[in-house]
């Protein structure tokens, strides 16, 4: 068969594009090289739906950031995305003129709900902020969002609308023949009328398979430390420092699930797979965050990680059609997570016009998130347990995750330890899977009908038991 | 209304339950989150348990089964596969598959939740995050309960007892343990484990060393260890790279007190456990014992302490709360903490347990009050890896100070 559209890359951008395309009368397949969605840039970032004060006015970034923020807030209840409107503030320490410039830039970008607040107001809202703060830009549309839940929501909704999500399909060649493309992967071959490149840090390689070389992706690593939920409440809004040429700087933010996240830095890496953390990098991140909040309890760190962003020389997103029917969504670094739905909307609009297709008459616009008994009230929780007793059997004690949730995560494609963790947080807590990982291994083996030795942490070669 | 609810059915919870019963309580409930009673003892299949309690060398499961039999003989009610999710004084809320969420009222509560292992993340070890990194206890569970050897070439970071035991266990099962690296200049484990688990198998113990890099995208491929200076920072140029497929972490145990916090208890920043008096009361009818209170080296001491806590909880249930006066136990040079931290005024024969801050040879433990030495005990060696116990065979009337004095 010839697909109408093939999306390359199963990160949040690829999944969002697939989701928006699937709302049209368009047959869609998504090809992901890894064994699950959300395994690259999308899995390791700040998890912020940025307001849009930072991008340069007139750029795609500015436009799609502001639109993405709006879309995310609309979509969250429909698609079961873990999103909370917690607001953000950019702190100034005697650089109030720059704050004013940011505010004006935000206005130009169409950001609503901004205002500059005084030292006293900052501390009234966030008492743990460094008291030397002179003023702050308050951003009331800023949200925290769980990047996993966003990516899986997009992917599952795309599937519900008929899209095929194909894992372990690393694209190795693309050829244009007449009016369609042949896309070769390591084990298969696909045909499609249109191809959308959302390959993240490898997007230039994909582009070069079929289009003239016009851009290079440079990989920048951002390192983070994550603190125990016991530190929740240290700050309630997302705390930025004034941006520098390196980016938006180190932030201190609660996560949707009440941890405190500190990071990132921004370091160029030669190896596109180098998502290791480095001692000096982590140290700098921790030191730099103290400027915003001096009393961060780093003894409560439960994990550290690094994420890779695809940056380009232009600094803007590259969304174009270098070859008739081949579209790039490349160079999607920050605010990529926020912009993802807007990129999906934007590209699907262009692609549907290219294909001459209309919206589906009755697309599925809602998606049910995996039930989370620990946040239900007692009656709802007991009703759920009565219906399915597995929701009463706690497997991950730190995050209070039940067997029912884990089984559902496995059913929805989380067939690795990390896949389960990203979907329902088993192993995401303070013991980092020390207690529950063995039980999760057993559940995966049971549900998938495989041996314990076959269960992986993530990709091939990551079997937990040797 | 229950008389006492015991949270945790491991070594501490079982001993506490038996003591409650023997002190006259009948309406006792033990709540255990796992499917079986016995706790972590079930995966500790090595011997050395019970030397003090039974004058025998038992394995963990054997030691646990003796207590489980006593619990069963007394027909003490135990709910397994049930997890306590909320706690207030006199109110325990748990969830399981059959009852859903349920809250019960109780006159007293005994905390016996044990501890958890410190994970990799808490150490900020740089590098990749591949498969093959396990806390020693997780590897022990996979090995001894599930029957899987987790790796073939192993490096262990931390010389906690579980790590030492696993060094021997994995060696006996055919794995090659290349080295045990310990950040501190001394081991965190028992001397007997260093001898029996490392020395006997020629496994090198690298003191003042830590892991500075982990290689491997999918599975651990190599681990780099470096020497550290006196401020525990790695020294450049001392790196040694070990090709291996597994890194075990045995870098400390943390009392699991999230529930205690929900109940409003104050935790000691040193032990990580509740602050208690010599009846193991943390206030409001809540008692604590075992590793949730402070991390023990020997299970025998856990049982002993839990039995005391159980009998004191029973006394509280029968006699009700009585206002008491307390003396404070302070720590001086060389003493990290003591349990209990407070003693009811006038009590005699209180057992004080504590850990020292460093290795001391030929030093003395001195207990004094206002400068008057009440007790002085000379010890050949004291080490942070081994818990010290001192019985206060005098009446406690005034605040006391516990310290190490070098001769």
User: Sorting pLDDT into bands at 50, 70 and 90, what band is B323?
Assistant: confident
pLDDT for position B120: 85
Return the axis-axis angle of helices A60-79 and A96-109, rounded to nearest 10°: 70
Q: Are residues B110 and B259 in the same domain?
A: yes
Q: Tens digit of pLDDT for each residue in B262-301?
A: 999 999 999 999 999 999 999 999 999 999 999 999 999 9
The answer for B 63-82 residues in CB contact with A (under 8 A) is 81
Reported confidence tier of residue A326, pLDDT bands at 50, 70, 90: very high
SS3 at position B94:
strand
Q: Which two tokens stand for residue B40?
A: 């972590």
A 346-375: CB under 8 A from B: 373-374
For the question of residue A354 being annotated catalytic, the response is no
**ipTM score of complex:** 0.95
Residues B136 and B244 in one domain: yes
Residue B183 has φ and ψ, to the nearest 5°, of -60, -40
What digits encode the pLDDT tens for the residues B114-153?
Answer: 999 998 888 878 899 999 999 999 999 999 999 999 999 9
**Measured between alpha carbons, how far is A317 from B181 in angstroms, rounded to an integer?**
47
Q: Is 90 exceeded by the pLDDT of residue B228?
A: yes
Total domains in chain B come to 3
State both tokens at B217. 């995208």
| Angle ∠(B58,B63,B66) on CA atoms, nearest 5 | 125
Whether B388 and B313 share a structural domain: no
With CA atoms as reference, the chain B residue closest to A418 would be B131
Measured between CA atoms, how close is B13 to chain A, in angstroms?
18
Q: Give CA B150 to chain center in angstroms.
A: 24
**Pick among A392, A406, A426, A463 to test the B interface (most B CBs inside 10 A):** A392
**CATH number for position B382:** 2.60.40
Model pLDDT, residue B122: 81
| Contact between residue A307 and residue A219 where contact means Cβ atoms under 8 Å apart | no
Structural tokens at position B130:
């591949």
Question: Domain boundary at B231, B251, B271, which?
Answer: B251
Rounded to an integer, what distance in angstroms lies between the CA atom of residue A173 and that of residue A209?
Answer: 6
Question: Distance between CA A371 and CA A345 in Å, rounded?
Answer: 28
Q: How many helices (H) and strands (E) does chain A have?
A: 12, 22
Average pLDDT over residues A363-379: 98
DSSP string, B276-337: --TT-EEETTEEE-GGGTS--S-HHHHHHHHHHHHHHHHHHHHH------EEEEEE-TTEEE
Q: Is A7 helix (H, G, I), strand (E, B) or coil?
A: strand
Tokens of A361: 């008459």
Same structural domain for residues B247 and B149?
Answer: yes
Same domain, B278 and B239: no
Note the pTM of the prediction, 2 decimals. Answer: 0.96
Rounded CA separation B155/B127 (Å) = 15
CA–CA dist B191, A428 (Å, integer): 35
Instruction: Judge if B302 and B262 occupy the same domain.
Output: yes
- For residue B212, the chain A residues in CB contact (below 8 A) are 279
Between β-strands A114-118 and A2-8, what pairing exists: parallel, antiparallel or unpaired?
unpaired
Picking from B83, B129, B135, the nearest residue to A434 by CB comes out as B135
Check A50, A119, A213, A354 and give the catalytic one. Answer: A50
- Tell me the percentage of chain B whose pLDDT exceeds 70: 100
Domain boundary among B264, B289, B322: B322
Mean pLDDT along residues A312-317: 95
Distance CA A115, CA A124 (A): 15
Angstroms from B114 CA to nearest CA on chain A: 13
Q: Inform me whether the pLDDT recorded for B384 exceeds 90.
A: yes
Q: What is the pLDDT of residue B280?
A: 98
For chain A, what is the mean pLDDT?
Answer: 97
pLDDT digits (tens, 9 = 90+) for A153-212: 999 999 999 999 999 999 999 999 999 999 999 999 999 999 999 999 999 999 999 999
In this structure, the answer to whether residues B124 and B246 fall within a common structural domain is yes
Q: What is the pLDDT of residue A243?
A: 85
| pLDDT of B32 strictly over 90 | yes
Q: Are residues B150 and B43 in the same domain?
A: no
Q: State whether B330 and B246 are in the same domain.
A: no
Q: B222: domain range?
A: 119-251
pLDDT tens digits, A74-99: 999 999 999 999 999 999 999 999 99
At residue A306's C-alpha, the angle toward residues A106 and A271, to 5°, is: 105
Give phi and psi for B313, each to the nearest 5. Answer: -65, -40
Return the residue in B119, B260, B261 with the most chain A beta carbons within 10 A, the one to mutate for interface testing.
B119
Query: What is the structure's pLDDT at A278?
Result: 93
pLDDT at A269 over 90: yes
Residue of B81, B94, B100, B222 to mutate for A, most A C-beta atoms under 10 A: B100
A113 touches chain B (CB under 8 A): no
Q: Could you give all domains of chain A from N- to C-terminal order, each with its CATH number?
A: 1-84+145-215+312-367 (3.50.50.60), 88-140+218-307 (3.30.9.10), 373-454 (1.10.10.1100)
B226, B251, B276: which is the final residue of a domain? Answer: B251
Same domain, B241 and B299: no
Whether residues B165 and B109 fall in one domain:
no
Q: How many CB pairs under 8 A join A and B?
A: 128
pLDDT at A151 > cutoff 80 = yes
Q: Are residues B123 and B247 in the same domain?
A: yes
pLDDT tens digits, A227-251: 999 999 999 999 999 987 777 789 9
Residue B394: its pLDDT value, please?
Answer: 86
């Amino acid at each position: 068969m010839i697909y109408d559209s093939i999306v390359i890359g199963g990160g949040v951008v690829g999944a969002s594009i697939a989701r928006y395309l699937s709302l049209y009368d368009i047959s869609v397949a998504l090809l992901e090289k890894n064994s699950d969605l959300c395994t690259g840039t999308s899995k390791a970032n700040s998890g912020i739906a940025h307001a849009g004060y930072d991008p340069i006015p007139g750029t795609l970034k500015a436009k799609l950031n502001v639109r993405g923020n709006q879309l995310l807030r609309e979509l969250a209840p429909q698609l079961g995305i873990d999103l909370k409107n917690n607001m953000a503030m950019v702190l100034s320490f005697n650089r109030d003129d720059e704050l004013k410039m940011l505010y004006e830039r935000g206005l130009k970008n169409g950001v609503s709900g901004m205002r500059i607040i005084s030292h006293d107001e900052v501390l009234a809202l966030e008492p743990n902020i460094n008291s030397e703060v002179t003023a702050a830009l308050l951003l009331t549309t800023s949200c925290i969002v769980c990047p996993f839940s966003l990516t899986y929501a997009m992917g599952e909704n795309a599937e519900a609308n008929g899209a095929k999500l194909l894992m372990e399909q690393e694209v190795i060649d693309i050829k244009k023949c007449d009016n369609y493309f042949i896309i070769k992967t390591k084990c298969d071959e696909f045909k499609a009328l249109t191809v959308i490149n959302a390959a993240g840090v490898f997007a230039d390689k994909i582009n070069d398979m079929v289009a003239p070389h016009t851009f290079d992706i440079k990989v920048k690593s951002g390192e983070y430390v994550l603190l125990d939920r016991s530190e929740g409440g240290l700050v309630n809004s997302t705390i930025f420092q004034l941006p520098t040429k390196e980016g938006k700087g180190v932030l201190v933010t609660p996560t949707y699930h009440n941890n405190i996240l500190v990071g990132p830095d921004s370091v160029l890496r030669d190896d596109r797979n180098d998502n290791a953390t480095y001692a000096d990098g982590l140290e700098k991140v921790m030191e730099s965050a103290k400027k915003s909040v001096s009393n961060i309890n780093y003894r409560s760190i439960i994990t550290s990680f690094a994420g890779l962003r695809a940056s380009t020389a232009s600094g803007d997103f590259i969304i174009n059609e270098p070859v008739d029917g081949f579209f790039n969504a490349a160079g999607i670094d920050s605010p990529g997570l926020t912009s993802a739905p807007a990129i999906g909307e934007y590209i699907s609009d262009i692609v549907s016009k290219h294909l001459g297709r209309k919206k589906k008459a009755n697309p599925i616009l809602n998606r049910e998130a995996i039930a989370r008994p620990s946040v239900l009230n007692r009656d709802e929780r007991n009703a759920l347990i009565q219906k399915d007793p597995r929701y009463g059997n706690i497997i991950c004690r730190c995050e209070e995750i039940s067997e029912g949730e884990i089984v559902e995560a496995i059913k929805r494609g989380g067939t690795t330890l990390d896949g389960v963790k990203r979907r329902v947080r088993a192993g995401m807590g303070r013991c980092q899977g020390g207690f529950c990982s063995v039980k999760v291994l057993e559940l995966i083996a049971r549900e998938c009908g495989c041996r314990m030795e076959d269960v992986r942490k993530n990709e091939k070669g990551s079997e937990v038991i040797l | 209304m229950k008389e006492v609810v015991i949270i945790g059915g491991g070594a501490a919870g079982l001993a506490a339950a038996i003591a409650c019963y023997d002190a006259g309580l009948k309406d006792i409930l033990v709540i255990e989150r796992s499917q079986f009673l016995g706790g972590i003892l079930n995966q500790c299949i090595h011997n050395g348990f019970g030397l003090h309690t039974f004058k025998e060398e038992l394995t963990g499961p054997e030691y646990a089964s003796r207590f489980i039999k006593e619990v069963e003989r007394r027909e003490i009610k135990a709910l397994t596969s049930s997890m306590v999710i909320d706690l207030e004084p006199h109110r325990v809320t748990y969830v399981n598959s059959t009852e859903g969420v349920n809250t019960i009222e109780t006159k007293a509560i005994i905390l016996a939740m044990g501890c958890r292992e410190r994970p990799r993340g808490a150490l900020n070890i740089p590098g990749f995050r591949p498969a093959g990194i396990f806390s020693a206890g997780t590897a022990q569970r996979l090995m001894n309960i599930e029957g899987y050897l987790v790796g073939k070439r192993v490096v262990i970071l931390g010389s906690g007892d579980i790590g030492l035991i696993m060094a021997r266990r994995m060696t006996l099962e055919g794995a090659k343990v290349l080295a045990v690296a310990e950040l501190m200049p001394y081991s965190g484990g028992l001397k007997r484990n260093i001898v029996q688990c490392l020395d006997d198998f020629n496994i090198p113990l690298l003191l003042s060393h830590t892991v500075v890099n982990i290689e491997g995208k999918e599975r651990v491929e190599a681990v780099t260890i470096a020497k550290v200076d006196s401020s525990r920072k790695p020294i450049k140029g001392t790196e040694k790279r070990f090709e291996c497929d597994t890194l075990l972490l045995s870098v400390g145990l943390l009392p699991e007190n999230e529930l205690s916090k929900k109940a409003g208890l104050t935790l000691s920043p040193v032990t990580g456990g509740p602050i208690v008096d010599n009846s193991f009361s943390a206030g409001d009818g809540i008692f604590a014992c075992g590793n949730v209170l402070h991390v023990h080296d020997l299970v025998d001491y856990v049982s002993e302490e839990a039995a005391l806590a159980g009998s004191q909880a029973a006394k509280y249930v029968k006699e009700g709360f009585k206002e008491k006066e307390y003396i404070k136990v302070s720590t001086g040079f060389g003493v990290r903490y003591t349990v209990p931290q407070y003693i009811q005024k006038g009590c005699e024969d209180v057992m004080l347990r504590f850990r020292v801050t460093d290795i001391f040879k030929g030093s003395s433990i001195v207990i004094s009050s206002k400068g008057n030495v009440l007790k002085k005990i000379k010890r050949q060696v004291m080490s942070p890896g081994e818990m010290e116990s001192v019985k206060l065979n005098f009446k406690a009337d005034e605040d006391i100070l516990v310290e190490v004095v070098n001769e």
